[in-house]
Structure 1
Amino acid sequence: MIGRIRGTLIEKSPGQALVECAGLGYEVDIPYTTFFHLPETHQEVTLHTHFAVREDAQSLYGFASRLDRDLFRLLIKVNGVGPKLAVGILSGLDAQQLIRCVEARDANALVKLPGVGKKTAERLLIEMADRIGQLEGQFVPGSPQATQPGQADPAVPTQGPDPRVEAEAALIALGYKPQEAAKAVTKVAEDGMSSEALIRLALRNMIPA
């Protein structure tokens, strides 16, 4: 099991990071909440990871905090929730929001996420409620998602492709319809905003906290 990776961030995009460690480049699938906290490329990064092996694929999933990674591991134990859907859930809700959602039995917040139907949401709330206790000691309000020294500020514009195009593509990849993605990005877009900031605000409006 690969539980953590530390190395140089070579590339990053919504949904994936390429980390070079000891001469090897690891492609790591990440939720958007982790993408927001990645440092600039060519800087050191540490990700808490989960290595998933299937008959047809081997995938490495990375998270900004151990709490995120442990929540992912609890999510994929829920009947009907695979790694892809678990990443989608943690892209739409950060760790604190997800825990509060489970504690409040808020199925409405979950069904707003792409791929999560009413039955899946209800089953997730029931099964996760019994497992959240395993995370005791990790959930400290305001801390798991705080930006760490050396990490990028998502509000700072970065050079590259059109941020609006990147943000729309990221939302579409998450499962939203192109029209929904375009509308959400247009609603929050302001001159000079980075793709990270656009994605964060668009998701916040689409999925109320």
Structure 2
Amino acid sequence: MIGRIRGLLVEKQAPEVLIDVSGVGYEIQMPLTSFYELPEIGGEAVVFTHFVVREDAQLLYGFTSKQERALFRLLIKTNGVGPKLALTILSGMNASEFVACVERDDIATLVKLPGVGKKTAERLLVEMRDKLKSLMETSAGSEREFVLQSNYTAPVIENTAEEDAISALLSLGFKPAQASKAVSAVYVDGIDSESLIKSALKSML
């Protein structure tokens, strides 16, 4: 099991990053809530990971806190929720927001996420309620581990902010028309990719 990775952030295109650890590059998929907290390319990042082995692939999912990883692990134990959907849920809201959503029985917010229908939302509210109590008690008082910075600078692959944002939303399950419309609605000159992705996602939730 790969539980934690620390290395240089070589590539960063939501929702995937590439972290170099002693010459070995790890491709890691992250929810946007964690993705936003990473340093710039060339910085040193600490990521808590969850390793998934499938018949056709071996995948690493990463988080900037143990609390978010713990929530991800609880989500994928819920009937009908796989790693991809769990990643989408945690991209739309952070751990604290999800807990508040469950406590309020807020189905309306959950069903706005791609892939979450009414039945799945209802199942999440029922199955996660008791699980979340233990999660929050365990993590109470714990502090998020901050990513470290280094002076190394890696080459940046040029991509427009709009292309990056649309690509990120598509990877989370939004339809092309939805993604394009949302990005266009919040785009302003000079906005960076991460800010554009965040604004577009918020506009749809």
Structure 2 length-normalised TM: 0.89
Q: 1:159 to 1:191 in 2, by over 3 A?
A: farther
Q: Compared with structure 1, are the counterparts of its residues 25 and 148 closer, same or farther at alpha carbon in structure 2 (3 Å cutoff)?
A: closer
1:94 alignment partner in structure 2: 94
The more displaced of 69-78 and 28-37 is 28-37
Displacement of 1:147: 7.7
Q: Which residue of 2 aligns with 1:177?
A: 175
Q: 1:46-88 CA deviation, whole Å, 9 max, x = no partner?
A: 0011111223321111011111111100000000101111111
Residues 46, 146 of structure 2: 8 Å contact kept: no
Q: What is the percent sequence identity of the aligned residues?
A: 52
Determine which structure has greater relative contact order: mean sequence separation of CA pairs < 8 Å that are 6+ residues apart, divided by chain length. Answer: 2
Alpha-carbon distance between aligned partners in 2 of 1:28 and 1:149, rounded to the nearest angstrom: 18
**Superposed displacement of residue 160, structure 1:** 2.9
Equivalent residues of 1:9, 1:19 under 8 A apart: yes
CA distance in 1, matches of 2:146, 2:69: 17
Map of 1:163 onto structure 2:
161
CA distance 1:88–1:139, change in 2 (3 Å) = farther
Do the aligned partners of residues 179 and 56 (structure 1) sit closer, same or farther apart at CA in structure 2, a change above 3 Å counting?
closer
- Aligned amino acid, residue 73 of structure 1: R
What SS is found at the alignment partner of 1:164? Answer: helix
More divergent stretch after superposition (159-168 vs 16-25): 159-168
Moved more, 42-51 or 181-190: 181-190
Per-residue deviation, 1:19: 0.8
Shift of 1:192: 0.8
Q: 1:138 maps to which residue?
A: 139
Structure 2 Cα separation of the partners of residues 100 and 126 of structure 1: 14
SS in 2 for 1:45: strand
The residue aligned with 1:155 is none
Residue segments in structure 1 that go unaligned for 5+ positions in a row = 152-157
SS in 2 for 1:42: coil
Distance, in Å, in 2 between the alignment partners of 1:201 and 1:123 is: 28
Q: Counterpart of 2:153?
A: none
SS in 2 for 1:185: helix
Deviations along 1:155-194, one digit per CA (max 9) or x if unpaired, are xxx9832101211221122111222112211221111111
Q: State the match for 2:200 in structure 1.
A: 202
**Structure 2 contact 39–147 (Cα < 8 Å) conserved:** no
1:78 partner letter: T
Structure 1 segment 1-209 matched on structure 2, within 5 A: 1-135=1-135, 136-138=137-139, 150=149, 160-207=158-205
Secondary structure of the structure 2 residue equivalent to 1:48: strand
Rounded to whole Å, the distance in 2 between the matches of 1:72 and 1:159 is 30
Paired residues in the alignment total: 198
**Unaligned 5+ residue runs, structure 2?**
151-155
The root-mean-square deviation of aligned C-alpha atoms, in Å, is: 2.1
C-alpha separation between the residues in 1 aligned to 2:75 and 2:173? 18
C-alpha distance after superposition, 1:19-43 (max 9, x if no partner) = 1112211111111112211111121
The one-letter code matched in structure 2 to 1:123 is: R
CA–CA distance in 2 between the matches of 1:139 and 1:106? 23
Q: Which amino acid aligns with 1:113?
A: L
